Every structure is written in C-alpha cells, then in structure tokens.
Amino acid sequence: MEINFILNNEDKCIEVDPMFPVLRLLRETMGISSVKTGCGEGECGACTVILGTPENGIIRYKNVATCIMPAGKLNGKHLVTVEGINGDKLSPVQKTLVDEGAVQCGFCTPGFVMSLTGFFLGGEKLSYKNILNAIDGNICRCTGYFPIKRTAKKLLESVSEYPDTEERIKKLVELSFIPRYFLTIRDRLVELKEKILTDKSIKNEINEKMIFVGGGTDLLVEKSGRTGADYTRFISNMAGNINLISKKDEFIRIGAGVSVTDIKDSEVIREHIPGIENFMEQVSSGIIRNMATLGGNIVNASPIGDLSVLFLALDSSLVLSKDGVTREIKLKDFFRGYKVLDLKDGELIEFLKFPSYDNNVYINFEKVSKRNYLDIAACNSAILIRNENRKIKKCMISAGGVSPVPLYLQKSSEFITGKEITIENLKELSKITLTEISPISDVRGSAEYKKELLNRLILSHFILLFPDLVNEGDLI
Ligand code: FES
Ligand code: FES
C-alpha cells in the first residue's frame, strides 16, 4: 500500500504493508531512533509519538503507541517524534524533565517528552489531573515518578489555556515547545489529501480475505502485523455513521470507528451516560484509547472487553451491514461462544445504538485488575437502574471475565427488577448471579476469586449509586 504522510517536517511517500507496525517502520527503515522498543504491546509508552489528524479544518494531535499502530493508519497524517520537536536546543518539556531530575537511564524519556508535549498540543483543558492522564500509559522504572510529576506541574504553570487550535499552536511555537514548521502543517496536509489513494480504490474488491481494521491495537499484539489478508480496509477512512456519534429517533448511535477517547469526550454521550469519563479512563491508557475503537473492542469478542460489558447493560444493539444490506442484532445475542460472533464473512459493524436514557437512570461501571491502568480486568461489571420510590422499575446488569463471552446477566436483572433496594434482596441477588456465571481459573485469578469479585462488584454498584439505601457494613 502506498502511504503519504508528514514525518516531523518531511513529506513521505512509501510503499509498505498496511499492517506493518509503525515502530518498526520508524526504527528500521526511517532511521528514527528516539522511539524505543519496549514491551511491544502498548503497555510501557517507550514508543510514544504524537499523531496529527486533519479534522474539520484543524489538526487534532494525540499521543499514540507506535508498537501497536498499523502503518496504514499514517496515511494523510502528521507524525511527530522527538526529532521533530527540538531544534538546536532542548524544548521546555525536555529541559524541565532534566532540571527536575526526571531522567536517569533515559529509556522512557522520549515517550514522556512526546506524551507531555502532545498534551499541550492536544488542547485538553489544562489541569493537573489531565496532564497526569496524558502520561498514564508511560512507565518509568528509574525515577519513582515524583520528578516526573514535578515536571508536569511546572510545565502547567508555564502555559495558559488556548482553546483555539491555531492560536494554541502559535503560542506553543512562541514558547519553543514546538518548532515553527508546525505552522505549515495544516496546509500541507490539505495538499497531501489530494494525493492520497483513498479506500474507494478497493471498494469493489471486497473478498473473504479482506479484513476491516478499527484501531488495529489488538490485532498487532495478536498477529504481529501478519493478518494474511489480501486487503486491509481501515474503517476510520470510511464515510457515514461508522465514524460518528449522533442521536436519532430516541437512540444514541456510536460508530464502530469511533475511538475510546472520542466516546469519553463526547458531549452527547456525557449527557446520556453520566460518569462516562471515569468509566473510559479505566480502559487501558491514553496512548491506546486514542487509537482503539468501539468496533474493535466488540469484534475482538474478549470475554472481558470493557466496552462490550458497559454497553450490554445499556440494552444496546448493533447495526451490521454487507453489500448495502443492513441488519440489527441485540449486543447480548452477538456473542455466540468464546470468540464466536454472529457476524458473516464481509459483514461489518456500522454502529452501536442504545436508548437515549433520561436523567432518572443510574449507570455504573466497575472493573478490578492487578493495576489501575494498562491492565486487562480480572472481572468487570456494569449496571443500569431506573429507581422510583425505592423500587427498581428497570435493571440491567452485565459482567465480564466470568464466562466465555461478555455476559448479560438475564436472571439477575429479572430478579431485581420490580423489587425494593433492601439488604435482603441484594443478598438474594448475589445467590442468583452465582447460578449464571462459569468463571475459569487463569492468570488473573481462580474461579472462586472471580465469583467473589463479581459479587462484590455488583454490590458496589448499589453502594455507590444508592448510598442512602445501602450500607456497606450490612452486606458483609
Ligand atoms: Fe511498550 Fe510500545 S513498546 S508501549
Ligand atoms: Fe529509566 Fe525512566 S529514566 S526508565
């Protein structure tokens, strides 16, 4: 596949397998040695770069992990590495890291430099919480993090808020966070777009050896870039509902190509899923969330998929399409067995939809993993409750990690619907839940541990959502 992109300040046009990892492309064929090879699975941040994507006349910059990023996704974008942010002297981010003693062996440092620089470029609201979120995918094994946190604080104090993208880029150039050539990138990407061979060129060549790729983050871990497909079609390049979040006919629609970050930041979703920001922050880390898509997470069919579990509790459906024909299926019926889906060859998830719930519903998502971030859950669970005068009018509960598929807990949901929220009913609910699950012992815990864990997670939904009605002590 021919890809055209801008690497730092240089226009590039190369022929490459679209599923080849960007990290290897940079290090092995482009001589960019600042991106480091660490875990190779998106878990350490040593390979972090900044990726600029043209969107509605502006460039949106985000930090991404290159070890799990397919080369085909570079098409039409601006890729920034450490080589592209310093001229003849250190940038303020680099200098502050050095001044604060945040650099020891230096292996993680380029990743931190990119994540911190990308935070300012990305235009996220300037706050200590947000800047720490921006480095939640970067691991340092030397410094103990305090010098890095001091760096983050100092940098925050040196920059003011610029919501306007062009103004922000100008200001960051003035402050020497980025070089002057950044001011030319928008126009250069517009020119590049005309050159790019879009997916339209292969639109009519769909065959069973073609694969649709969302973020590609999991695929690159699983298959190391060897998919065996004749064609790869990146759904982020496709037009229509597949890349949109919208509200239509009392349903919220989220396109399969929408990233986890875009779900987290969407005003529409925030209005209908209170707490979505916190739920999504539990999904991997920023450098993965910026690439990973809703469709990818669902089609991966992991029994512990965070998005699958959340949307199961929201009574979601999927709209699938093939050759212009669409069909709709409940998400709970989509998972047929371990990694087995109700999805035909060549069929594509277009979007997920769920009812646009009003303010009277309570929604919660809980996840337990060995680490807070960057980890696969041992067990996760979501709940939606409509409660009126202590009585549950509607309740839907889901769970992950306790069966071969992400599970909608049908019996548990039915049992608690129509009941009052009392300690007795919750204890009974725990017994019913146990009859619906079949966890296995694995590296994330024994079957017994997972049973207990899910029980606690379901109770914690009620403790968190109804602190006036449920006292933690009464449940133990
Ligand atoms: Fe560890 Fe990429 S090498 S995140
Ligand atoms: Fe050594 Fe961070 S400075 S890993």
Question: How does pLDDT run across 360-418, given as a tens digit for each residue?
Answer: 899 999 998 776 666 677 899 999 999 887 789 999 999 999 999 999 999 999 999 99
The answer to whether the CB of 382 falls within 8 A of the CB of 309 is yes
Structure tokens at 329: 């299926």
Burial track 236-251 (b if 16+ CB lie within 10 A, e otherwise): bbbeebbbebeeeeeb
Give this prediction's pTM. Answer: 0.91
The answer to whether the CB of 376 falls within 8 A of the CB of 444 is yes
The DSSP letter of residue 292 is -
Q: How far does the centroid of ligand 1 lie from the alpha carbon of residue 261, in Å?
A: 19
State the CB neighbour count (10 A cutoff) for residue 158: 12
Cα 339 from Cα 446, distance rounded (Å): 21
Burial track 417-428 (b if 16+ CB lie within 10 A, e otherwise): eebebeeeebee
Nearest CA to ligand 2 atom 1: 105
DSSP H or E run through 391: strand 391-400
- pLDDT at position 206 is 53
Query: What atom in ligand 2 is closest to the CA of residue 105?
Result: 1
Q: How far does the centroid of ligand 2 lie from the alpha carbon of residue 284, in Å?
A: 21
Alpha-carbon distances of 312 from 31, 154, 331, 384, rounded to whole Å: 45, 42, 6, 10
Cα 174 from Cα 180, distance rounded (Å): 8
Query: What atom in ligand 1 is closest to the CA of residue 44?
Result: 1
For ligand 2, mutation pick of 94, 97, 107, 112 (most atoms within 8 Å of CB): 107
Q: Tell me, using a 6 A CB cutoff, whether residue 110 lines ligand 1.
A: no
Parallel, antiparallel, or unpaired: how do β-strands 348-355 and 361-368 relate? Answer: unpaired
Cα 318 from Cα 340, distance rounded (Å): 16
pLDDT tens per residue across span 177-207:
999 999 999 999 998 887 775 544 444 455 5
- pLDDT at position 230 is 60
Burial of 137 (0-12, 13-18, 19+ CB in 10 A): buried
Q: Tell me, using a 6 A CB cutoff, whether residue 469 lines ligand 1.
A: no
**Below-70 pLDDT ranges, the chain:** 197-209, 223-230, 371-375, 475-476
Q: How far does the centroid of ligand 1 lie from the alpha carbon of residue 17, in Å?
A: 20
Query: What atom in ligand 1 is closest to the CA of residue 137?
Result: 4
User: Which ligand approaches the C-alpha of residue 108 most closely?
Assistant: 2
Nearest CA to ligand 2 atom 2: 140
State the CB neighbour count (10 A cutoff) for residue 55: 9
The DSSP letter of residue 220 is H
Q: What is the DSSP string of 180-218?
A: GGGGGHHHHHHHHHHH---GGGGGGG--TTEEEESS-HH
State the CB neighbour count (10 A cutoff) for residue 443: 7
Structure tokens at 377: 């859950």
The answer to whether the CB of 315 falls within 8 A of the CB of 214 is no
Cα 402 from Cα 222, distance rounded (Å): 22
- pLDDT at position 398 is 97
